[in-house]
């Protein structure tokens, strides 16, 4: 746990020079329905400038014109929010690239497709409180949010201005989410996730997509206050390294370097606190398509791709420094290679097995450790609490699966009924066709009888001289 806490502290560099008290007083005075929330009749010059500022980053996978055309056709499909598109086609399109100027709309499109595919959402869905209503309320997380504003993409032109449009919109989104999700509230790292969304869409849309990522795509569990899920994720990543890159795993273990020393920020900020925006945007492309498992795939691919360079370092400080500082800046070609590798990976079964393994090991540690009765009881209660949450999650998944099965069975029954009706209709049409053919044959016979044989014409008599 100490490693995790230390890693959390290292997520973002210190921000000592920022005037927190001034910022707090300014935001408290502001109307919760900020200028960015007020409707305008059309895009103003300031809106256009903000859009250019937002998309000020270098692409990792340049999108070819043909691929852009494919996306534009899907986005322009009438009634697209009710149409299930071919999954392979979407997977192929995401793999070939996502045009930066359409990225926000494409993320919303992928979220729509997820909802169509999973029509029985988890019971953990939040209350459907309107965004503007949330902005009118006060949050106990206000100070923590304000402190982190200046630490979030401090060099990006959209967020760098104190009290600017970017920081204000980001504050609004994080404040609204802290009120919507009382259990999580606000956690370090969330500002980067919300910030990436805000760079590609409007404020309220970004808030809705943050809800989608947290509740539908599985990000929320890692931000729970007990941080148990984050510990499990660090164990899962360690096991992946053990199974896929044993020499690298042994090298890190030899120097007592666990994933919590370098990978906690990767999970909590979805790589956004350390990696170039173009790379992070591609990670988000895949998360909207495949879910939070993508973070493991990217982490494993990054470490595996740079294994020879990591193995060259021979002490804790230089290894951790390389992974945290050098690795994120090794070039676009290597990052594009990483993205390509992720599309070919499937580690879902391993992750499930590692999670079960983690809990078994925890139980064994409790049983074997020389603890007092009170300490043992505390640990057991925490473990039971964690298992209860997991049981509830599994129960919800089972209920969703049963709902899907019932829905599929009803669909199959409707299709069978429809097939039976179609067979009957086909038989009736065939009988009708046979009857019509007989009628045509009879009519042709009657016509032949009525016309009869044509009379033979006598040759003309010769004319005399």
385 φ/ψ angles, rounded to the nearest 5 degrees: -60, -45
Q: What is the per-residue pLDDT for 42? A: 54
Q: What is the pLDDT of residues 137-179, one digit of tens each?
A: 999 999 999 999 999 999 999 998 888 889 999 999 999 999 9
Q: What is the per-residue pLDDT for 226? A: 87
- Residue 138's region, left for phi above 0, alpha for psi from -120 to 50, else beta, is beta
Q: What is the per-residue pLDDT for 120? A: 67
Instruction: Provide mean pLDDT across the span 233-241.
Output: 96
Rounded CA-CA distance 320/99 in Å is 34
Higher-pLDDT residue of 413, 265: 265
Contacts 24+ apart (CB under 8 A), 89-92: 90/289, 91/289, 91/343
Instruction: Provide mean pLDDT across the span 328-350.
Output: 89
Percentage of the chain modeled with pLDDT above 90:
55
Ranges 59-63, 165-169, 441-445, 459-463: which has the least confidence: 459-463
Instruction: Provide mean pLDDT across the span 123-135.
Output: 86
Exposed e or buried b for every residue in 220-235, given b needs 16+ CB within 10 A? bbbbeeebbbbbbbbb
**Band of pLDDT at residue 449, cut at 50, 70 and 90:** confident
State whether residue 116 is helix, strand or coil.
helix
Check whether 58 has a pLDDT greater than 80: yes
Number of other CB atoms surrounding residue 260 within 10 Å: 23
Higher-pLDDT residue of 141, 382: 141
Rounded CA-CA distance 324/265 in Å is 9
Contact of 270 with 326, CB cutoff 8 Å: no
Q: What is the per-residue pLDDT for 94? A: 95
Rounded CA-CA distance 374/348 in Å is 37
Instruction: Provide mean pLDDT across the span 358-386.
Output: 72
Q: What is the pLDDT of residues 390-425, one digit of tens each?
A: 666 666 666 666 666 776 777 787 888 888 888 888
Question: Which two tokens mark 74?
Answer: 């899907």
Distances (CA, A) of 127 to 118, 141, 172, 184: 19, 19, 18, 14
Q: What is the per-residue pLDDT for 280? A: 96
Ranges 77-86, 93-102, 162-171, 395-404: which has the least confidence: 395-404
Rounded CA-CA distance 379/228 in Å is 13
Check whether 39 has a pLDDT greater than 50: no
Distances (CA, A) of 130 to 13, 134, 157, 195: 34, 7, 30, 20
Check whether 333 has a pLDDT greater than 50: yes
Contacts 24+ apart (CB under 8 A), 390-398: 393/124, 393/221, 396/122, 396/123, 396/124, 397/122
Rounded CA-CA distance 238/234 in Å is 6
273 φ/ψ angles, rounded to the nearest 5 degrees: -80, -15
Contact of 285 with 103, CB cutoff 8 Å: yes
254 φ/ψ angles, rounded to the nearest 5 degrees: -60, -35
Ranges 15-29, 277-291, 370-384, 412-426: which has the least confidence: 15-29
State whether residue 16 is helix, strand or coil.
coil
Q: What is the pLDDT of residues 194-229, one digit of tens each?
A: 999 999 999 999 999 999 999 999 899 999 998 899
**Band of pLDDT at residue 368, cut at 50, 70 and 90:** low
Instruction: Provide mean pLDDT across the span 14-30.
Output: 44
Distances (CA, A) of 146 to 82, 137, 191, 192, 198: 39, 16, 10, 13, 17
Question: Which two tokens mark 338?
Answer: 């990483």
First to last CA, the chain: 136
Q: What is the per-residue pLDDT for 370? A: 64
Distances (CA, A) of 49 to 157, 165, 257: 11, 11, 45
Q: How far is CA 226 from the centre of its chain?
A: 24
Check whether 367 has a pLDDT greater than 80: no
- Residue 270's region, left for phi above 0, alpha for psi from -120 to 50, else beta, is left
pTM over 0.75: no
Percentage of the chain modeled with pLDDT above 70:
78
Check whether 235 has a pLDDT greater than 90: yes
Rounded CA-CA distance 292/342 in Å is 13
Q: What is the per-residue pLDDT for 412? A: 85
Please state, rounded to an integer, the average pLDDT across all residues of the chain: 84
202 φ/ψ angles, rounded to the nearest 5 degrees: -70, 170
Q: Rounded to the nearest 10 degrees, how much is the dihedral formed by the CA atoms of 136, 23, 13, 266?
A: 10
Q: How far is CA 127 from the centre of its chain?
A: 21
For residue 211, give every residue at least 6 positions away whose Cβ sits within 8 Å of its Cβ, in sequence order, or none.
126, 177, 180
Check whether 18 has a pLDDT greater than 50: no
Give the closest residue to 292 by CA, choosing from 212, 409, 179, 372: 212
**Band of pLDDT at residue 123, cut at 50, 70 and 90:** low
Rounded CA-CA distance 152/196 in Å is 10
Higher-pLDDT residue of 260, 388: 260
């Amino acid at each position: 746990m100490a490693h995790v806490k230390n890693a959390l502290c290292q997520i973002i560099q210190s921000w000592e020079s920022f005037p927190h008290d001034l910022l707090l007083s300014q935001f408290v005075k502001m109307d919760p329905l900020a200028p960015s929330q007020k409707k305008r009749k059309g895009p103003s010059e300031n809106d256009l400038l903000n859009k250019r500022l937002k998309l000020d980053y270098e692409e990792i996978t340049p999108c070819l014109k043909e691929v852009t055309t494919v996306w534009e056709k899907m986005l322009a499909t009438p009634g697209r929010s009710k149409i299930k598109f071919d999954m392979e086609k979407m997977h192929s399109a995401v793999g070939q690239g996502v045009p930066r100027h359409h990225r926000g709309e494409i993320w919303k499109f992928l979220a729509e497709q997820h909802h169509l595919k999973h029509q029985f959402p988890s019971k953990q869905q939040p209350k459907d409180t309107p965004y503007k209503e949330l902005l009118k309320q006060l949050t106990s997380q206000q100070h923590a949010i304000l402190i982190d504003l200046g630490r979030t993409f401090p060099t990006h032109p959209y967020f760098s201005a104190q009290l600017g449009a970017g920081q204000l919109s980001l504050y609004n989104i994080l404040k609204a989410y802290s009120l919507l999700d009382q259990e999580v509230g606000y956690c370090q790292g969330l500002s980067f996730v919300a910030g990436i969304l805000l760079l590609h869409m409007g404020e309220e849309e970004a808030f809705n997509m943050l809800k989608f990522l947290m509740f539908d795509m599985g990000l929320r569990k890692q931000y729970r206050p007990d941080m148990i899920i984050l510990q499990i994720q660090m164990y899962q990543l360690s096991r992946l390294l053990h199974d896929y890159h044993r020499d690298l795993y042994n090298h890190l273990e030899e120097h007592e370097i666990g994933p919590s020393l370098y990978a906690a920020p990767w999970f909590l900020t979805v790589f956004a606190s350390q990696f170039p925006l173009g790379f992070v945007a591609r990670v988000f492309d895949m998360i909207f398509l495949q879910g939070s498992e993508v973070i493991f795939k990217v982490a494993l691919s990054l470490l595996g791709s740079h294994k020879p360079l990591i193995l060259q370092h021979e002490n804790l400080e230089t290894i951790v420094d390389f992974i945290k500082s050098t690795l994120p800046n090794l070039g676009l070609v290597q990052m594009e290679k990483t993205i390509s590798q992720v599309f070919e990976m499937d580690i879902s079964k391993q992750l499930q097995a590692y999670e079960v393994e983690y809990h078994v090991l925890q139980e064994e540690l409790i049983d074997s450790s020389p603890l007092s009765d009170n300490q043992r009881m505390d640990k057991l209660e925490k473990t039971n609490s964690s298992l209860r949450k997991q049981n509830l999650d599994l129960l919800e998944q089972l209920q969703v699966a049963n709902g899907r099965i019932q829905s599929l069975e009803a669909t199959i029954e409707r299709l069978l009924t429809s097939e039976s009706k179609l067979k009957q209709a086909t038989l009736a049409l065939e009988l009708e066709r046979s009857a019509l053919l007989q009628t045509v044959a009879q009519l042709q016979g009657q016509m032949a009888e009525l016309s009869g044989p044509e009379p033979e014409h006598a040759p003309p008599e010769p004319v005399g001289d």
